[in-house]
Amino acid sequence: MDYRIERDSMGEIRVPAEKYWGAQTERSIENFRIGVGIETMPQEIICAFGYLKKAAAEANYELKKEKMTEQKLFAISKACDEVISGKLLDHFPLVVWQTGSGTQSNMNANEVIANRANEIAGTKLCHPNDDVNMSQSSNDTFPTAMSISAVTALVTKLLPAAEGLIAAFRELEAAYPDVVKSGRTHLQDAVPIRFAQEISGWRSSLERDTELIRLAIPPLSELALGGTAVGTGLNAPEGFAELAAEKVSALTGIPFSSAPNKYHALTSKDELVFAHGAVKALAVDMMKIANDVRWLASGPRCGLGEITIPANEPGSSIMPGKVNPTQCEQVTMVAVQVIGNDTAIGMAASQGNFELNVFMPVMAYNFLQSVRLLAESIESFRINCAVGIRADEERMRHNLYNSLMLVTALNPYIGYEKAAKTAHLAFEENLSLKEACVRLGFLTADRFDEVFHPEKMA
């Protein structure tokens, strides 16, 4: 491998000749050999750096034209566009487990953009610190990248996935408007419910989760950019923070604003905690829905068997013909991961010391992993399971009429105590409710038929 010599404030260091990164990135590679090639900085963060560095250059061009020339702006913007597109992803090798402020990832972005900009310009035009990092600090750029990437992931990945599953459930409701089945509480038989009503509970839970996520987006969209090192805005021109936020909004097509208090923006991560809490709420509801689906589909002969789900692949290496609810299983595993990530994010956010939180890379990594996994999990569940759910109406009717909890319909006519005796006798002697009620002398057979209508109980 060929190398070139790069220099920083600590001296000279060899860097692979074909890479755009510089000395500080190389030092990070050497000092943090933790999760190399596996737990690298998320691509969403790298893309967000492209947006914010381009936005900063555009703002500096308007506010500091004597330093950010038109030629520099053009070269930096072109380099940033390549970062945003993912073209330069191989030049961002740093791991999550680095400095807690994300300083090295900020410098990685500065060095790559500067070197690529110089290549575009055909001359050594841009300096990583003086030009690409103009009016910025790692302390405000990394939290800004976190905000941009988190909001973008929620808006473009998670919300569309959840809305797709909501639509699928709405169609399933419409397909079974009049099918009545046994309800269940405590995993025990309960009074009747329409299958469409049961599905509506799933749908409504997801709708509420998307509402909560949307509530979390505006505060998460407030950018720390412009606070520089400790929130005072040192070395940033007046108006830079607000103008840079406007530029980010224009570039991403998503509304962002400047955080009103930069001291808070640098040290507190409560907006990210709140937003991930909403993500966790969605994961928790997906866990519940997946469990309901696999319980209802259990069998095919010795379980509930009230619904069928698509048979996507063989379920056993030894039992021929076995098919498992694998889509439900991937959903529940993802939900567990998201819940674990929430704990990590909460703990990390609690560790803001004085003017800066230094657990930001792990928060960014876990948040983006949660959103990506959950979005892909929901979409997979929709395509490979939800749209293929079918009601076994005959099994539902059989289970409904075998349910002892239908005795609840007799309460207005014979009272709770007599209804309880009817249910106990039916269970103990394996009788129908009608047989038990008539034997006990509580109702005649004709009167029982007159008042007992399970379908009207839903």
Tell me which residues are annotated as active site: 186, 316
Q: How many CB atoms lie within 10 A of CB 239?
A: 13
In order of 209, 313, 329, 391, 405, the CA distances from 385 in angstroms are 21, 12, 11, 13, 31
Distance, in Å, from the CA atom of 348 to the CA atom of 155, rounded to the nearest integer, reads 24
Q: Which two tokens stand for residue 168?
A: 């699928």
Q: Is 383 left (phi over 0), alpha (psi -120 to 50) or beta?
A: alpha
| Residue type, position 325, single letter | P
The pairing of strands 222-223 and 188-194 is unpaired
Distance, in Å, from the CA atom of 210 to the CA atom of 16, rounded to the nearest integer, reads 46
Q: If we measure between CA atoms, which residue out of 285, 280, 279, 284 comes closest to residue 205?
A: 285
Size of the chain in residues = 458
Judge contact between 164 and 289, C-beta under 8 A: no
Q: Which two tokens stand for residue 174?
A: 């419409």
Name the 3-class secondary structure at 314: coil
326-356 burial, b at 16+ Cβ within 10 Å, e below that, comes to bbbebbbebbebbeebbebbbebbeebeeeb
Q: How many CB atoms lie within 10 A of CB 186?
A: 6
